[in-house]
Structure 1
């Protein structure tokens, strides 16, 4: 089971395998087989490397921000929850995910939900969450695996299908759709954007004064945005604290470097996305032809960040600020304080902004990323009792889909 978990937690391996099989089934020449497989593997590895850089910078920022404003509370972390429950739930979750993947392919082959979910590194967290819920309800291991696999397999096939229409608005075609754990937020945000936004006012087309035209460059806009966030938080935290956190580095040098490193990480992610999409989309047609004719690949949401880079940045800020506001509201309504997860706000908030912009322009982007920020705060707060038996202190599952599917399973099967 540990071997299987290690494989599915490395999406680059899954992507390379799908690309290899797709090119093989298309009877490509050995040179193309080798090149396509390596390039897709390299592309997704670049995405992972870039994401690691982003995560490192956001970890620094989170520490500075929490110290500056004396924040204490629940910090949602899927990785922490999985690490704490690996020994207890690992084998059950791995079998559940394996069966769910098979079910996803069967559904894609025989129904209209022709999407194969390739972001297995995400649904492994969902498998742990669902396993935890059913274990707490005293279901046996075999029943837990079957029930969980059915729900997750259906989710893997249906959720990308529901997003397909809105993904088409972003991408412009049906070559691929999105498989991500923030899909509930993207779906709600896209729908609200279409109802209350204005699609003609595209965020990327906003006219800027000539004096600030440099902000149209996404690398410059990202660097300056992160610099301002680091500067404000760093001044409140104290330059001495920041320098100590940076192993004695000069305060100004450190925040400038971290801002540029963040923009560099995002640049690497987008470059990896370009490589990855160029190889996986045509290769997947060969894979689908054998296993599920007509199916399309459902891939990680980071592939959208190249489409609307400035919108993604706005979505991140709105999602994060929404979470910050919730910190001050929740104690007055009896909910625990949820400290915003910076990486979750960046990825799901940015993606929500992109979806909202595609359906409702600038206003839609604001609405959609606001919805994402609310879900990232409210769902972990209200779902703490679902996972309390695990004994996790100070953390819980983070993403809307993990909590949403787990809650659905709980409310159905608590009666049996």
Structure 2
């Protein structure tokens, strides 16, 4: 009897579809917490819908942004790449799918997420030996990080499904556990609460905690005790700040590519907006469209991340009483709102310096900053820096971090061959080292590069 149809149904049609797989995970998680079936089903459906919405936003963002990158490449001959989290994961999956078949990247990434989370729980259960105490629960970051780990292991080691998932899961779980545990003490000193930061700037936040006292005075220079102009409060609105970053980025692109390529962008092969003949109006349309794409993407993420976190958190608390929950870095923002604004300002300064450096040193790759790594990273790092070294430490460390985000990401783009990169602090530092190590191992073993 031929059971190929059954294998296809289970592996491709069900577990090969991220929206179904995420829904099943949430359903199981809620049922394991003894929730009513109606509650579990509602959560599963919301999670599944969220995955689809995320894909719609991400797909539109990548499609529109790629047109801008093509215009840059045509005008300058320079390879362009965007810095943002979710599009990086999607771009990695597209590379895998082109060789392994549609949906393969996402399904492998989800398996890596599950195995890595289980390993994180095991490391915490064995904390007497591992010293790992934090359970990483920031679902949106977990999904992206698991996907990127899956891609770089597959690309540089050329492994099949099972070894790729195992190796990527170990690397990811160690990153989650070690660095979120390192931030338990400083996070408690900032918030007074019993949680830790679990995001993608943990290593640099820890460095800020350690280095800040050597740069400034935590009491005398504390920005939270000083008065900021009311006009800067607008930068705390994520959507407005995203639109501002996009406006500046697109304006620079339009200046670089020139009138001929702007006309191409308006045309049918570009963004299909021939009616917007005024360049200023066209600039605003691109800015608002890209911001809307990101908004849709994040709306989808919020839909399923909330459900995943609830089910994961309930399971982990049941299994590991006393473990420290690792949550989104945004959980610290309310404790230091002025530091958040300071981080955005100095992080932006650092990234501008970094971009000028790419031009001066004639880099073959030009990067387009993204709001998520720019804002969330530098806001979080500034909170740690200000708490332990005041505004001077926050200013210096965030400026340097902005520069590192650009140059580190440029190296990552060169090595991975992706048109997007995370852009976050850890992914411009320690993850560049991880990529370099995997690439070196693959090269020593004579493994052909996957994509």
TM-score by length of 2: 0.64
Q: Secondary structure at the match of 2:366?
A: coil
Alpha-carbon deviation of 1:393? 9.9
Per the alignment, residue 215 of structure 2 pairs with 196
With over 3 angstroms needed to count, the CA separation of the structure-2 counterparts of 1:328 and 1:109, relative to structure 1, is same
- Render the CA deviation track for 1:300-320: whole Å, top value 9, x for unaligned: 768889996856754773454
Q: Secondary structure at the match of 2:35?
A: coil
User: Which of 231, 246, 257 is matched with 1:226 structurally?
Assistant: 246
User: Which of 27, 30, 44 is matched with 1:20 structurally?
Assistant: 27
Q: Secondary structure at the match of 1:340?
A: strand
- Render the CA deviation track for 1:111-152: whole Å, top value 9, x for unaligned: 2433146413422322332354445xxx99998876665444
Alpha-carbon deviation of 1:108? 2.8
Unaligned runs of 5+ in 2: 1-6, 83-87, 268-273, 446-451
- Spell out the pairing of 1:5-404 with structure 2 (5 A cutoff): 10=18, 16-42=23-49, 49-50=56-57, 55=62, 58-63=65-70, 70=76, 72-73=78-79, 75=81, 83-84=94-95, 87=99, 100-111=116-127, 112-116=132-136, 118=139, 119-134=142-157, 149-165=169-185, 173-174=193-194, 177-180=197-200, 183-188=202-207, 191-192=210-211, 195-196=214-215, 200-202=222-224, 206-208=228-230, 219-247=239-267, 248=274, 249-250=276-277, 251-268=279-296, 279-295=307-323, 314=345, 317-318=348-349, 320-330=351-361, 337-343=364-370, 346-361=371-386, 364=394, 367-368=397-398, 370-378=400-408, 380-381=410-411, 399-400=427-428, 401-404=430-433
Per the alignment, residue 448 of structure 2 pairs with none
With over 3 angstroms needed to count, the CA separation of the structure-2 counterparts of 1:221 and 1:120, relative to structure 1, is closer
Distance 1:48 1:311 in 2: 32
With over 3 angstroms needed to count, the CA separation of the structure-2 counterparts of 1:352 and 1:179, relative to structure 1, is closer
- Render the CA deviation track for 1:233-260: whole Å, top value 9, x for unaligned: 4244334422320222322222112222
Equivalent residue pairs, number: 397
Q: Secondary structure at the match of 2:365?
A: coil
Q: Secondary structure at the match of 1:288?
A: helix
With over 3 angstroms needed to count, the CA separation of the structure-2 counterparts of 1:216 and 1:147, relative to structure 1, is closer
Distance 1:63 1:311 in 2: 34
Distance 2:410 2:440 in 1: 16
Alpha-carbon deviation of 1:34? 3.0
Distance 2:369 2:298 in 1: 19
252-261 or 313-322: bigger deviation: 313-322
Distance 2:342 2:24 in 1: 33
User: Which of 388, 406, 414 is matched with 2:435 structurally?
Assistant: 406
- Render the CA deviation track for 1:314-365: whole Å, top value 9, x for unaligned: 477345424312313545xxxx54322544xx32222221112212346526
Q: Secondary structure at the match of 1:261?
A: helix
TM-score by length of 1: 0.69
- Measured on the aligned residues, the alpha-carbon RMSD in Å equals 5.1
Q: Secondary structure at the match of 2:223?
A: coil
Q: Is the contact between residue 175 and residue 281 of structure 1 (CA under 8 Å) also seen in structure 2?
A: no
Q: Secondary structure at the match of 1:27?
A: coil
Distance 1:162 1:264 in 2: 36
Q: Is the contact between residue 185 and residue 375 of structure 1 (CA under 8 Å) also seen in structure 2?
A: no
Q: Is the contact between residue 354 and residue 402 of structure 2 (CA under 8 Å) also seen in structure 1?
A: no
